[in-house]
Homo-oligomer: A and B are copies of this chain.
Amino acid sequence: MGKIKLSSISTRAPENFEKKETKDKLQKTLDNLDELQNLLYAEHKHSVLVVLQGLDASGKDGTIRSVFGKLNPQGVTVKSFKVPTPEEAAHDFLWRVHQHAPAKGMIQVFNRSHYEDILVTRVHKFCDDETAYKRMKSINDFEELLQYHNNTHILKFYLHISREEQQERLKERTKDPGKMWKYNEQDFKEAKLWNDYMKAYEDCFENCDTIPWTIVPSDQNWYKEYIIAKQLHDLLVSLDMHYPGLKK
- Chain B proximity mask over A80-96: 1 for CB below 8 Å, otherwise 0: 00000001001111110
How far is the CB of A56 from the nearest CB of chain B, in Å? 26
A142 within 8 A of B: yes
> Within the assembled complex, what's the spacing in Å between the Cα atoms of A146 and B98?
13
How far is the CB of A117 from the nearest CB of chain B, in Å? 9
**B residues less than 8 Å from A95 (CB atoms):** 98-99, 101, 150
Chain A interface residue count, CB cutoff 8 Å, equals: 26
A93 interface neighbour in B90, B105, B149, Cβ under 8 Å: B149
> Within the assembled complex, what's the spacing in Å between the Cα atoms of A91 and B101?
8
Is the CB–CB distance between A146 and B92 below 8 Å? yes
A145 within 8 A of B: yes
Taking A141-B138, A142-B145, A145-B138 as contacts, is the C-beta distance between A150 and B98 under 8 angstroms?
Answer: no
A199 within 8 A of B: no
How far is the CB of A106 from the nearest CB of chain B, in Å? 8
Q: Which residue of B lies closest to A117 (CB)?
A: B149
